[in-house]
Amino acid sequence: ETISLNSTDTAEWKKIPGIGSSYSSRIVKYRTLLGGFVSKEQLLEVYGIDPEMYSRISPYVAEDHNWSKIKINELEFKDLLRHPYLNYSQVQVIVNLRHKKGNITSTNELSMFDEFTNEDIERLKPYLEF
């Protein structure tokens, strides 16, 4: 039996062999910070989940499309900074760009800045709402 990646609570996570209270709590906390997982591979970003553990728990987890998007043109600096995929200098770029030109319309605008690598852009894409 599988559990849903984005709607499962800590009690359900604990039903997976090898997932106890601390892992289930870390998974749910990180998922909340992200706004949800886009793919189950993101479980590898949770502290303590290594590739070996991931391969053990992965078959029990079903992906869904239930994650939240970041309203990049509306959120304040501090709210943007809460997202694990955005650092301080990247948030500065976003806020400065909005002040200079108005709404940001695509990730292409962000990729023109050194603060955003191609990897950063790819990770952020599913989370951004323009």
DSSP labels, 85-105: T--HHHHHHHHHHHHHHS---
Q: What is the pTM of this model?
A: 0.93
Q: What's the confidence (pLDDT) of residue 77? A: 98
- Domain positions in the chain are 3-62, 70-129
Residue 1: the pLDDT is 87
Task: Determine the CATH number of domain 3-62.
Answer: 1.10.150.320
pLDDT value of position 43: 98
SS3 61: strand
**What is the pLDDT averaged over residues 59-85?**
97
Mean pLDDT, range 39-62, rounded to an integer: 98
Mean pLDDT, the chain, integer: 97
Does residue 38 carry a pLDDT above 90?
A: yes
| pLDDT at residue 9, rounded to an integer | 97
